[in-house]
């Protein structure tokens, strides 16, 4: 029993210490913004690695998720004779929830884990330390461009995911199952609001981009500099990002859609 | 400034330095001095914190007690900005080379120049080629770090360390894991750079022969204390049994061959 | 140098595709039309009961959407609900004796304001009040009435 209490206490202290380190790290990273504005080339390079290389998985997943939504939605709605609402259903679920959330989870799996592994390996091979000795701040030079690239990329990826998903839903619903194209789009347009639905989805993806990039980079920076430490950190990135995204999604949804 | 005074000759001075990791004491109030323009070696068995010492000099770690003075600056009392200014004048060669893996050899050497100077690309090119020529790798400028052998990587890292023309270089285990030819090349390079560029060199190593062949002064560290110091000859003829065991690589001596255990016969019989 | 150019180009394409996607979502999915929303005129209607009508519910005439509900207030003097509507500017020839009723799209659909053109020569203007209104049909009341009627028929 004492053993258990002791372990619990140690775990709590360690988690708090990590949160503290993470917050300091975040502050340090954000202070690198000025350096990035002076050298946008660094950011563009990272936008390629973080954003462009995640593009394909996002578009393909979005297409399939939209197609499945179209199919499932059609079977459920046709029981109530409400096939015309298929457009609303597909678009609302994508724009409000699935777009930001699934894009963030895919982003954590593709780009986040790659970032953790990259930073962890740079630490393990003394590259970060070497940079410090060359009087270059590795957080500003290496971490900050990657952080802002992630922060910018995820909203773009989430918007793509939703857009492609809606087209996928249309392909299945209208093209395959014969829902009327006019009512598919008009019902969607009548029921979705730009600010309440689409902008809220964009806000969600901005928050997720911030959090997943932070987690991925901090796990890499805080990793134990051995091959085992780096591989563990990579796993932690995916797990912690998933928790953070899903938990925050609940909070944000409650805040945004709570009052109507 | 008067020639030959004590202050002028000592570039790096470590005074009563203590450092511990967790509960383990790594240094217990040690004092070392490094003379300007000389090659000073710090030797000792693995795990005595030799790399830690270099990180303390470079200001990457903070000591529990004591001070490190580099060129009349107390490293651990400098602001971050002045520390970075000081580091521009310190080169460090890491054991792994620590080359940036996403750039080729040329860009790696150009990296500190591009970060810290506003030189034109043409100027940077001449400087990089000059440094590469010095380490004999001008022909390898387009290779990526993963295409280099260990010895080549260390030579590139050396070229990078001297890119900003520092006043001193710290070498972390430069000889470990090298074939005889690369070893000869590295020994030659360190010696030559030191005399030609007028550098102050600090070598951390446990390779006795190579280090002793180029060092002007040697400190032997063990268990957080300095157990021997002097010129290579003095160390060679040291009357400390420990130093003699280390320098000659004897299997048994003050450092026992056996890890502490109970009596062998007793241990064998205890099963019966 | 060449590689640098393609990288920049790909990143440019990536960002552009994101903007296109957002534009698609805004225009095609949510029908954001800020220009026509702003240019229009406001009319009011008083209802005894505005039912499940919400801000942003459509206002339509002859089945065509011509505007949106912009505000719903409770008048403490008359105990009525005051509905504020923004009508697109191109529909500025509605007679001033037009009547408004709150209707439901389908049996369970959302509620909207349906207008019925009258025969007057004068038109509704910014700030006009629609005189003739019919309140929302509350399903519970309707069922109650129906049951009551059934009972009295049987007698």
Model pLDDT for residues C39-53, shown as the tens digit of each residue: 788 899 888 888 778
Closest residue by Cα to residue A163 from A78, A55, A250, A257: A55
Do A246 and A239 contact (CB within 8 A), yes or no? no
Mean pLDDT in residue range A51-73: 93
Structure token digits, residue A55: 């593009």
Res C33: pLDDT: 57
Q: What CA–CA distance (Å, rounded) separates C144 from A72?
A: 38
Mean pLDDT in residue range A212-236: 94
Min distance C152 CA to chain A CA atoms (Å): 34
Min distance C155 CA to chain A CA atoms (Å): 38
Cα-Cα-Cα-Cα dihedral sign, residues B221, B225, B227, B231: positive
Flag whether residue C8 sits within 8 Å of chain A, measured between CB atoms. yes
Are C and B neighbours with ≥3 CB pairs closer than 8 A?
no
Residues from chain B contacting residue A131 (CB–CB below 8 Å): 100
* Minimum Cα–Cα distance from C17: chain A residue: A160
| pLDDT tens by residue, C58-104 | 888 888 888 888 888 888 888 888 998 888 888 888 888 888 888 88
Res C128: pLDDT: 85
**pTM, whole model, 2 decimals?**
0.79
Maximum mean pLDDT: which of A102-116, A176-190, C8-22, C140-154: A102-116
Min distance A240 CA to chain C CA atoms (Å): 27
Percent of chain A having pLDDT more than 70? 99
Flag whether residue A35 sits within 8 Å of chain B, measured between CB atoms. no
Taking only residues 131 to 150 of chain A, the set having a beta carbon closer than 8 angstroms to any beta carbon of chain B reads: 131-137, 141
Structure token digits, residue A189: 């347009």
Res A151: pLDDT: 92
Do A161 and A94 contact (CB within 8 A), yes or no? yes
Task: Count how many pairs of residues, chain A against chain B, have C-beta atoms within 8 Å.
Answer: 52
Res C4: pLDDT: 65
CB contact under 8 A, A122 and B101: yes
Taking only residues 105 to 134 of chain A, the set having a beta carbon closer than 8 angstroms to any beta carbon of chain B reads: 121-122, 125-127, 129-134
Mean pLDDT in residue range A74-96: 87
CB contact under 8 A, C29 and A198: yes
Res B249: pLDDT: 78
Q: What CA–CA distance (Å, rounded) separates B90 from B73?
A: 13
* Minimum Cα–Cα distance from A135: chain B residue: B84
Do B151 and B178 contact (CB within 8 A), yes or no? yes
Question: What is the CA A144 to chain-centroid distance, rounded?
Answer: 17
Mean pLDDT in residue range B127-153: 89
More confident residue, A125 or C32: A125
Question: What is the CA A123 to chain-centroid distance, rounded?
Answer: 24
CB contact under 8 A, B100 and A127: yes
| pLDDT tens by residue, B52-76 | 888 899 888 888 888 898 888 888 8
CB contact under 8 A, A129 and B98: yes
| pLDDT tens by residue, A172-219 | 998 898 888 877 887 788 778 888 888 889 999 999 999 999 999 999
Mean pLDDT in residue range A148-161: 94
On the 0-12 / 13-18 / 19+ scale of CB atoms within 10 A, A233 is buried
Res B6: pLDDT: 46
pLDDT value at A76 more than 80? yes
Res B4: pLDDT: 43
On the 0-12 / 13-18 / 19+ scale of CB atoms within 10 A, B254 is middle
C35: confidence class by pLDDT, cuts 50, 70, 90: very low
Strands B10-21 and B65-70: antiparallel
Of the candidates B58, B96, B160, which has its C-beta nearest A125's C-beta?
B96
Coil, strand, or helix at residue A75?
Answer: helix
Residues from chain C contacting residue A192 (CB–CB below 8 Å): 29-31
Neighbours of C (≥3 Cβ pairs closer than 8 A)? A
Interface test with A, best of B57, B96, B163 (most A CBs within 10 A): B96
Closest residue by Cα to residue C101 from C78, C87, C117, C90: C117
pLDDT value at A221 more than 90? yes
pLDDT value at C38 more than 80? no
Which residues lie closer than 8 Å to B227 by C-beta, 6 or more apart? B220, B221, B240, B242, B243
Mean pLDDT in residue range A156-171: 94
Strands C64-75 and C80-88: antiparallel
Tell me what percent of chain A is helix, strand and coil, each rounded to the nearest 5.
90, 0, 10
Q: Tell me what ipTM this predicted complex has.
A: 0.80
Please report, for chain A, the start and end positions of each structural domain, with discontinuous segments joined by +.
Answer: 45-257
Percent of chain C having pLDDT more than 70? 88
Which range among A110-114, A230-234, A235-239, C148-152 shows the weakest confidence by mean pLDDT? C148-152
CB contact under 8 A, C25 and A198: yes
Average pLDDT taken over every residue of chain A? 90
Cα-Cα-Cα-Cα dihedral sign, residues A121, A125, A131, A132: positive
Min distance A162 CA to chain C CA atoms (Å): 8
Res C65: pLDDT: 80
Q: What CA–CA distance (Å, rounded) separates A33 from A22?
A: 17
Q: What CA–CA distance (Å, rounded) separates C31 from A188?
A: 9
Res C3: pLDDT: 60
Res C109: pLDDT: 67
Residues from chain A contacting residue C8 (CB–CB below 8 Å): 44
Task: Count how many pairs of residues, chain A against chain C, have C-beta atoms within 8 Å.
Answer: 76
Mean pLDDT in residue range B182-192: 87
Do C50 and C83 contact (CB within 8 A), yes or no? yes
CB contact under 8 A, A125 and B101: yes
Query: How many Cβ atoms from other residues are within 10 Å of residue A197's Cβ?
Result: 20
Residues from chain B contacting residue A130 (CB–CB below 8 Å): 92, 94, 98, 100, 157
Percent of chain B having pLDDT more than 70? 97
B186: confidence class by pLDDT, cuts 50, 70, 90: confident
Strands C80-88 and C99-104: unpaired
| pLDDT tens by residue, A20-56 | 999 999 999 999 898 888 888 889 999 999 999 999 9
Q: What CA–CA distance (Å, rounded) separates A151 from A214?
A: 9
Sheet holding C58-61, edge to edge: C129-130, C40-47, C80-88, C64-75, C58-61, C111-116, C99-104, C132-134
Structure token digits, residue B206: 């446990």
Q: What CA–CA distance (Å, rounded) separates A237 from A119?
A: 12
pLDDT value at B5 more than 60? no
Res A26: pLDDT: 93
| pLDDT tens by residue, B211-241 | 888 889 989 888 888 888 888 888 888 778 7
| pLDDT tens by residue, C5-33 | 788 888 888 988 988 988 888 877 776 65
CB contact under 8 A, A162 and C25: yes
């Amino acid at each position: 029993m004492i053993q258990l209490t002791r372990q619990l206490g140690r775990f709590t202290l360690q988690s708090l210490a990590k949160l503290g380190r993470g917050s300091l790290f975040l502050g340090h990273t954000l202070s690198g913004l000025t350096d990035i504005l002076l050298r946008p080339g660094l950011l563009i390079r990272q936008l390629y690695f973080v954003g462009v290389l995640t593009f394909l998985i996002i578009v393909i997943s979005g297409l399939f998720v939209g197609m499945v939504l179209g199919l499932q939605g059609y079977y459920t709605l046709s029981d109530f004779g409400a096939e015309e609402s298929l457009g609303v259903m597909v678009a609302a679920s994508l724009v409000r929830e699935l777009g930001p959330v699934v894009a963030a989870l895919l982003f954590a799996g593709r780009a986040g884990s790659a970032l953790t592994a990259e930073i962890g390996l740079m630490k393990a091979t003394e590259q970060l330390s070497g940079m410090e000795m060359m009087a270059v701040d590795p957080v500003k030079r290496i971490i900050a461009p990657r952080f802002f690239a992630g922060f910018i990329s995820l909203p773009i990826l989430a918007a793509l995911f939703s857009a492609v998903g809606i087209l996928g839903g249309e392909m299945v619903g209208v093209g395959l199952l014969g829902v009327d194209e006019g009512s598919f789009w008009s019902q969607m347009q009548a029921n979705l609001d730009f600010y309440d639905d689409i902008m809220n989805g964009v806000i969600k993806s901005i928050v997720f981009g911030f959090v997943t990039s932070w987690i991925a980079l901090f796990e890499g920076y805080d990793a134990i500099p051995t091959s085992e430490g780096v591989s563990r950190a990579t796993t932690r990135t995916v797990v912690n990002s998933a928790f953070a995204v899903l938990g925050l999604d609940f909070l944000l949804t409650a805040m945004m859609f709570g009052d109507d | 400034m008067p020639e030959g005074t004590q202050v002028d000759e000592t570039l790096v001075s470590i005074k009563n330095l203590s450092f511990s990791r967790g509960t383990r004491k790594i240094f217990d109030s040690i004092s070392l001095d490094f003379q300007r323009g000389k090659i000073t070696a710090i030797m000792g068995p693995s795990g005595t914190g030799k790399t830690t010492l270099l990180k303390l000099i470079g200001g990457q770690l903070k000591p529990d007690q004591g001070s490190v003075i580099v060129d009349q600056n107390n490293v651990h009392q400098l602001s971050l900005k002045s520390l970075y200014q000081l580091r521009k004048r310190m080169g460090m060669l890491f054991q792994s080379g620590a080359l940036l893996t996403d750039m080729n050899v040329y860009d790696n050497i150009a990296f500190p120049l591009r970060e810290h100077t506003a030189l034109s690309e043409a100027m940077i090119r001449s400087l990089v080629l000059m440094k590469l020529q010095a380490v004999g790798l001008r022909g390898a400028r387009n290779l990526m770090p993963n295409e280099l052998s260990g010895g080549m990587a260390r030579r590139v890292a050396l070229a990078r360390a001297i890119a900003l023309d520092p006043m001193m270089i710290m070498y972390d285990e430069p000889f470990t894991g090298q074939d005889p030819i690369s070893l000869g090349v590295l020994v030659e390079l360190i010696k030559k750079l030191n005399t030609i560029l007028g550098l102050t060199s600090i070598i951390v190593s446990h390779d006795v022969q190579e280090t002793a062949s180029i060092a002007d002064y040697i400190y032997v560290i063990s268990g957080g204390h300095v157990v021997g110091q002097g010129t290579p000859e003095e160390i060679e003829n040291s009357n400390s049994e420990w130093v003699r065991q280390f320098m000659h690589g004897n299997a048994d001596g003050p450092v026992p061959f056996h890890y502490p255990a109970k009596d062998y016969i007793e241990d064998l019989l205890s099963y019966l | 140098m060449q590689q640098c150019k393609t990288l920049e180009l790909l990143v440019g394409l990536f960002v552009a595709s994101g903007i296109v996607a957002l534009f698609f979502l805004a225009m095609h999915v949510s029908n954001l039309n800020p220009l026509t929303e702003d240019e229009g005129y406001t009319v009011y209607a008083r209802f005894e009961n505005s039912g499940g009508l919400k801000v942003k519910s459509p206002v339509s005439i002859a089945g065509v959407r011509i505007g949106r509900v912009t505000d719903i207030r409770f008048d403490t003097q008359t105990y009525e609900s005051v509905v504020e509507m923004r009508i697109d500017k191109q529909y500025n020839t509605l007679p001033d004796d037009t009547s408004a009723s709150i209707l439901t799209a389908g049996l369970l659909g959302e509620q909207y304001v349906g207008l019925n053109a009258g025969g007057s020569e004068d038109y509704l203007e910014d700030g006009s009040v629609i005189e003739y209104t019919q309140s929302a049909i509350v399903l519970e009341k309707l069922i109650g009435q129906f049951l009551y009627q059934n009972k009295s028929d049987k007698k």
